[in-house]
Structure 1
Amino acid sequence: MRKWFAALTALLILCIPALAFGPASETVHGIDVSVYNGHVDFASVAEAGIRMVYIRSSLGFSYVDPTAERNADGARDAGLEFGFYHFCTASTEEEAVRQARFFAETIARYDYALKPVMELSPARELDRTETTDVALAFLSEVQRRTGREPAIYCSASTARDDYDSRLASYSLWVADYGAREPESNDIWETWAGWQYSDRGRVDGVNGNVDLDLFTAEMRSEPAPTQSAGPTATPTAIPTATPTATPTATPTAMPTVCPTMTPTVVPTNTPMPTATATPGEANAYVVQPGDTLTIIAQQFGTTAEELAKRNGIADPSVIYAGQIIYYR
């Protein structure tokens, strides 16, 4: 009897669901876009049920996404709530502050509704404490410059392995594909945004696009000094089910990750005009015609070393727009 009871107890424990890492509030559908998505028809995007859009504004110390202004105008005119994110390549606090200033200056003229977001690529040589120091330097400077509380975008593994609890007060937009819900971590109890696919399809966007669920926690109040501009920001986050793609209801988790073909850069997509990631960043944006050998020669290293550093299985295959880290 005692063995039977112990076995039953163990079975019941296994059947109890783990605490879910869920959204901070009701969710709506969103996408995030950059130069790699080409020309986006935001009127069609809105008709497809999308309510929020994040736009890449900048990268590194001085690179401005050439489609940022067009995307912001299109999202605004379609009545979508939008915001901006910056791809931060800093590996020191000083570099982080400089990039934060550049980000704030780049988006200062826009009347955006969503929190400014940091996407930090953790430097390989930094530990968790040092990476968090860099992140805090960037986030603090963005808040000081914009008057808005910023948010963090990162993968589930970065949230788990590269940051510490000092970032817990910032909203988390987490990327985790192919799961019923994002992987939990020891810092955040809920997520404000979830990028659940990088291979989505939405009317108005050619090819694949990142798909997200966003909560009201991603919304931001404009600073008093923010210049006013025409906007059609909703006064409340809608919770109705979209009548077109994407098919998941805004208040529910997607049950499966879309199974589309891998994302490729369309041949007619405008590419960055800079030949390298600006400033002292440790990253390079691959240009049409580049090879890993050519890039290696520019930065005094080898193709084999770049492949190893960037996890490239086949050194002969790289793509325009891909980010290559060289130190």
Structure 2
Amino acid sequence: MQDAGALLRVAYEAMKELDIDVLEVLSRCNISEDALNDKDLRTPNNAQTHFWQVLEDITKDPNIGISLGERMPVFTGQVLQYLFLSSPTFGTGWERAIKYFRLISDAASVSIDVDGDVARLSVNLDGMTKDANRHLNDCLIIGAFKFCQYVTDNEFKAIKLSFAHSSPKDVTAYTSAFSCPLEFSAADNYIYFDADLLNRPSSHAEPELFVLHDQLASRKVAKLELQDIVDKVRSVIAQQLESGVVTLESIATELDMKPRMLRAKLAEIDYNFNQILADFRCELSKKLLANTDESIDQIVYLTGFSEPSTFYRAFKRWVQMTPIEYRRSKSTH
């Protein structure tokens, strides 16, 4: 499960606005500031809890999700924004956003239900307990609310907001941030609004651009689905590595695919099996050398090499150091 790097970038802008020590936050989250410039950056969703714990620890703000959300810029510059703006109506924009929401996050999902004259936008975090990520919940609600206002030229108004997490002892930050009724310990995170807004024509509607943006979003999702195959290949490599026999054919069999199909799908995203295997072995070797006392012979076995000499040559090619030199360099830090 991963989130789009764009989420981290808007959080970065909000942290600077709050005068938070951004470099300290990124360092404690093992994120390079340079990585923020990677347009294809995706971050592991399971790192969200740690990110918000670090933020609360550094800022001492018990409502950092609201504080950050209020200062975050509107989520713009992504294909979903352009698709939304070129859609004929606000409701159509959400239909497409729901279809392609994976471009923002694999773990979060959205949906819209209509009951009479009231519509309900659900912002859900799959697999998270209600209180485990209160700050993230709060920030997502504010982000979704801001985006709705942006694409409706500020006509969007919330009738009520519901939060999946329980009510904090002090709700002042919530009542200051939101002027509508609030509910806590709800079944999900919800934004209630006038259902008529779903039929509101977009002032930027453009049928031809809408089709092009829809096609672009579809291609981007397809690319992510292909990237999933790389993750599956790495997972199977981890299972098979100690056997010493890891081949494209054995991986394809495990994934119930023909080797030719697996090779073709990897090529579509400029990957090949040997590259994935080498990268996995390199990462595992470095981790074992730096973080364990395993002998070199045991590491040779764990990384799937048949001979120590083969491992030594490969490691020197990867890192420009011998395994022993690399271990010594890490032990001095």
Please confirm whether the aligned pair reaches a TM-score higher than 0.5, indicating the same fold. no
How does the TM-score come out when normalised to structure 2? 0.25
Structure 1 or 2, whichever has the larger Rg, is: 2
Q: Taking structure 1 as the reference length, what is the TM-score of the superposition?
A: 0.25
The structure with higher relative contact order (CA 8 Å, sep 6+) is 1
Higher strand share: 1
